[in-house]
Structure 1
């Protein structure tokens, strides 16, 4: 980890201590005062950029990656070591990168003392390779999924998905990015030099105990909201900028906190992609809102010698002020400082068109379904490994209406698919949400209609998941299962012995 200055420790320590006192004022953390870390950091630490995982070519032409989960120790704060978990290291994991059309094979080795799984979030792939609760990897075992990448270029990610233990394992450090490239469809003008002008930005919030370990509480109604922000596993970070434009691949990898990203000087930036890939054209914005699991790609331009700060601003979660505060909705957080060099390499202007999205095809809708989120239930039921909740036809498109009728926010993630948001509470989605998505944010009493196309992978016995991606809610059972079958066929039940829980 990068060296940490004493001055930054004193300044940020005061802010963290003050935040901890505020949090301690309420026994369960569901209500507290809002807090701000703005002005408390000096951004002394160079931002860590996860390395690209080195692939090798198998005899059958597959691109092979290796990921090993293990316990470790990481220094985030000075003079204190934090017990952590990671892939191929002590915290987080390498960035996997492969191109559309490639066959990928990933050897996942579990060196942890408990069962885990690895889910490829946002990936279109066979259900048996999805890495959800039905693909457990026991201690000492190796799981080797393989599939051919068949989707547009996008910023995806991977993380554990063992039912009942997802939040705990992700919060210990198990997460990483998976970048899909499209060699035939990448527009000129987009920054693409990984680690130079194309930067992963994995944002997480954590609480630290006195001994430096991660603290598990307090917990808001939405889940854990921390008072310390880590970016790519770096606390108090800055990024040295050497080009006029920088592409930021923003990932909300927190378990419960929603971020409203923007810059301290309120500058505009271009949103170029959402969860599932490039938008039709760049969207000028000053804020981009991401709930847990969501991604956005933005391109920001800098002037020589300037400094700018990425922050998270307050947002409307739909609850009372006190409960919004408890969930972090009114916090103001310093995230990452950018330090532009005195001379910057020139960057091309973004193209006017990025992709050929077109409008969602609603000519042939196979079915319309409703999903009501309330409490820790979807349609009044909690997760049951032995029950298939929904059966859909391969190659069909359905309309899913998802309603949050609860008094707290949720979101909704669907495995395997990239849906289009048709409307939110009857209004067209804002342009930054008009592209391909796999997760939609639903503040209190919000309804979204989604056009959901299902792919060609059919498997009546192996389900995919849909669930709230606030990880505590997910672990408590706010999840359902669906299978994809040939059109007109009936669904089965999950294969015996494939599920596990904690």
Structure 2
């Protein structure tokens, strides 16, 4: 059996598993339309040699292919559901009509298909897709219903960045999972798992346990994606080397930001450049096991653990260098242009009395629309966290800017377009967004905590664009 790295272990363990680059689906092109076919299925995966684990997958045994399309393309995605129960596929970070969003209102019954069709109208970025089935999102994503969606545009290839898929431009979906003795996945064993969100003690990257990436080029572009259910990562290299952040959820930053460590909450994506021309073997580690608050500290797990290893002994010199600038970012909307400011209080009840997971005192009700917004309008949302732990807050159909955290400007890493923001315990985060032109008075978009167990238990609401 392969060596696993225990996220709660204090001893570094060397992994022997080979890094897997997800298959790339570029679709079948017909003029401006790109056609994709995705099949949700029940399968088995060998995370450990010779041990079969029951999983869900999309066109494969676990997780899905990386979809790729370009600004200006019209995509037509046919999703067939063969998992035995209802499901959905939500295009996380995409601006699109509500009926194509893949949220809980677009359920695909077992044995049926659904077609999502829309035009790509946003800049180059790393988005993702995942099940958003009502009350079942956590379990379905945990067992494998997720994948990345890369968007390109005409300008992005002019930036001189590494762009050879799987060679120097490498997707990395990071997940933590818990396995039973028989090799099967263990999902929600306790009240703690429900309250805190499901965390595992084995780290997977693209479905492989703590893999080793044999680097081929001296400059690597890693598209880091937190595909976990609940865990926040604080990522850094074992030798404390610096690296450059070039993009966040919604696209490129204005210029690379040099860091030694970065935080990646559930649902977030960050693109980084890592120089491995020293030909060393280095671990990408998480310096702590999870997101903030007293609750997390009580559950322990503060030692660093390995996410993946980069073996750069055989690298060839890269044709690319780290650019000085990337691209001018979209101007942050002027707060004076906001026609409304809304408040969102994230709340969770504790102990025997509970009180559940709520936003503004309300638990999710699929038949209740919480409010409506005007298309093409600008709003400020104030997200307040009165609960004992951090929550990543996600809004469908928009890319927003962070105005401030407790009155302080965001860091350079958070200066770009975002669709998910981690709100710490006791924090108020103000975000500003302009809603796209799509409108639908009947079908809503979601806003919710992206800890999937919290979303499933009610920390979610709905709005329509009119």
TM-score tier after normalising by the smaller chain length: over 0.9
The correspondence of residues 314-325 of structure 1 with structure 2, limited to 5 A, is 314=288, 317-320=291-294, 323-325=296-298
- Distance in structure 1 (CA, Å) of the matches to 2:272 and 2:345: 32
The correspondence of residues 148-167 of structure 1 with structure 2, limited to 5 A, is 148-167=119-138
> Secondary structure in 1 aligned to 2:284?
strand
Q: Is the 8 A contact 1:86 1:173 kept in 2?
A: yes
> Secondary structure in 1 aligned to 2:25?
coil
The correspondence of residues 156-305 of structure 1 with structure 2, limited to 5 A, is 156-216=127-187, 217-218=189-190, 219-220=192-193, 221-305=195-279
- Distance in structure 2 (CA, Å) of the matches to 1:193 and 1:286: 25
Length-normalised TM-score, structure 2: 0.94
Any idea what the Cα deviations from partners look like across 1:368-398, whole Å, max 9, x if unmatched? 1111101111011011111111211111110
The correspondence of residues 348-497 of structure 1 with structure 2, limited to 5 A, is 348-362=320-334, 363-375=336-348, 376-485=357-466
Number of matched residues? 454
Q: State the match for 1:306 in structure 2.
A: 280
> Secondary structure in 1 aligned to 2:142?
helix
> Secondary structure in 1 aligned to 2:140?
helix
Any idea what the Cα deviations from partners look like across 1:404-462, whole Å, max 9, x if unmatched? 01112212100010000010011111110110000000121111000111000011111
Any idea what the Cα deviations from partners look like across 1:8-56, whole Å, max 9, x if unmatched? 53xx4xx65xx7xxxxxxxxxxxxxxx336522x221111111111411
**Residue 315 to residue 422, structure 1, CA distance change in 2 (3 Å):** farther
- Distance in structure 2 (CA, Å) of the matches to 1:331 and 1:115: 39
2:94 to 123, 130, 141: 123
**Residue 379 to residue 337, structure 1, CA distance change in 2 (3 Å):** same
> Secondary structure in 1 aligned to 2:463?
strand
The correspondence of residues 58-73 of structure 1 with structure 2, limited to 5 A, is 58=30, 61-73=32-44
Q: Is the 8 A contact 2:93 2:398 kept in 1?
A: yes
Once the two structures are TM-superposed, the CA of residue 356 in structure 1 deviates from its matched residue by 1.4
> Secondary structure in 1 aligned to 2:365?
coil
Q: State the match for 2:353 in structure 1.
A: none
Q: Is the 8 A contact 1:48 1:232 kept in 2?
A: yes
Q: State the match for 2:351 in structure 1.
A: none
The correspondence of residues 317-336 of structure 1 with structure 2, limited to 5 A, is 317-320=291-294, 323-326=296-299, 330-336=302-308
Any idea what the Cα deviations from partners look like across 1:265-286, whole Å, max 9, x if unmatched? 1111000000111011110011
Unaligned runs of 5+ in 2: 349-356
Q: Is the 8 A contact 1:38 1:334 kept in 2?
A: no
Q: Is the 8 A contact 1:202 1:250 kept in 2?
A: yes
- Distance in structure 2 (CA, Å) of the matches to 1:253 and 1:388: 28
- Distance in structure 2 (CA, Å) of the matches to 1:194 and 1:176: 15
Once the two structures are TM-superposed, the CA of residue 332 in structure 1 deviates from its matched residue by 2.1
Once the two structures are TM-superposed, the CA of residue 304 in structure 1 deviates from its matched residue by 4.5
Once the two structures are TM-superposed, the CA of residue 366 in structure 1 deviates from its matched residue by 1.3
Q: Is the 8 A contact 2:333 2:434 kept in 1?
A: no
Once the two structures are TM-superposed, the CA of residue 358 in structure 1 deviates from its matched residue by 4.9
> Secondary structure in 2 aligned to 1:445?
coil
Any idea what the Cα deviations from partners look like across 1:295-334, whole Å, max 9, x if unmatched? 10001001253111100012784423x64252x6624220
> Secondary structure in 2 aligned to 1:208?
coil
Q: Is the 8 A contact 1:270 1:283 kept in 2?
A: yes
- Distance in structure 2 (CA, Å) of the matches to 1:119 and 1:286: 33
> Secondary structure in 1 aligned to 2:337?
coil
**Residue 38 to residue 189, structure 1, CA distance change in 2 (3 Å):** farther
**Residue 272 to residue 253, structure 1, CA distance change in 2 (3 Å):** same
- Distance in structure 1 (CA, Å) of the matches to 2:249 and 2:26: 24
Once the two structures are TM-superposed, the CA of residue 151 in structure 1 deviates from its matched residue by 0.3
- Distance in structure 1 (CA, Å) of the matches to 2:185 and 2:464: 37
**Residue 91 to residue 358, structure 1, CA distance change in 2 (3 Å):** closer
- Distance in structure 1 (CA, Å) of the matches to 2:280 and 2:24: 29
Q: State the match for 1:490 in structure 2.
A: none
Q: State the match for 2:80 in structure 1.
A: 109
Once the two structures are TM-superposed, the CA of residue 185 in structure 1 deviates from its matched residue by 4.2
> Secondary structure in 1 aligned to 2:297?
helix
Unaligned runs of 5+ in 1: 1-5, 20-34, 486-502
